[in-house]
Structure 1
Amino acid sequence: MKRVLFFLTFSLTLISCQKSHWDNPTVDQFVTMIKKGNYDSPYLPNFQPNDIERLLHFANDFQKIKSFPINSISSYMPIEFRLGECLLWTVESVRLNYDKTSEFNKFPSLVPQLIIPSGMINQEIATLDDLNRAYNLYSAWWTNNKSQDFENFRNINPLKDAVLMWR
């Protein structure tokens, strides 16, 4: 009886220690986990160009979220994370790095934060109006090019003329 009780306790302990995230979530699963605050991977999922449209579907929601993966070499942590801004950063990751094999190399910049470059040490953080403008630029970039081969337009920077850049 003691053996059965020990085995049952041990089994329950192992089950409760399993990770709560999927190794390769869909965009919908990823967004749900981010909103609930239970996406526990330090890396972005391995999204592909065909996931961009679904990422953009959710990217115009700028609600605050608890956390989001950032580049591990960054010494900077944003004061807040906004869902849409983080999803636009994820689109940027797909645009620049979807074909990289290392999870570490998939980050498009240090953190998912848009800034207004000024040449100063303390860069101005993008406002909600700026984030909406960035969303519109990424959406237009995708809508205008999605019928082409992705390799033909992935090097077109949606923020090229926006006076916005990723930190």
Structure 2
Amino acid sequence: MTDAVHPLQPGLDAFYREHSSWLESWLRRRLGNAWDAADLSQETFLRVLLGPQGQALEALREPRAYLATVGKRLMLNHHRRRQLEQAYLDALATLPQELIPSPEQRWMLLQTLQALDELLDGLAGGVRRAFLWAQLEGLGYAQIAERLQVSERTVKRYMAQAYAHCLMADL
């Protein structure tokens, strides 16, 4: 059995060899952690390969600037996931022992929270908060309007935006 060669492999191989050490060092300086930097470096190259520039790596005028942009976005997502995980762990710490979920349940809940966070990424802060308060806390539009200090009509518009965003992400 022969290994199938991806049509981008020769260009990607040279691109990776030329820039991987630089990118990993760049990420390590920002993260202060070699393991996370290595993971994010690999994920950056994977995103580049699967993204629109994966077809024309040699056409990139500033490959390191492009890698830094993709890496920075992944780093921000990494920090957001860590903050979300810490908030979840802090909330668990306040629960009585008998209500603390099992490790498997905690993992599944954390994965769900991270998926929800990714799904809502890109929504304006007010839209995101309105949607989360309605879905997770069961607040009505009047209560959300009061919290956000906006009109109920604005909350309805926010909710429509959030639902449309979720529907489009599902496609």
- Report the TM-score when normalising by structure 2: 0.28
Higher-Rg member (1/2):
2
Higher relative contact order (CA 8 A, sep 6+): 1
More strand by share: 1
More helix by share: 2
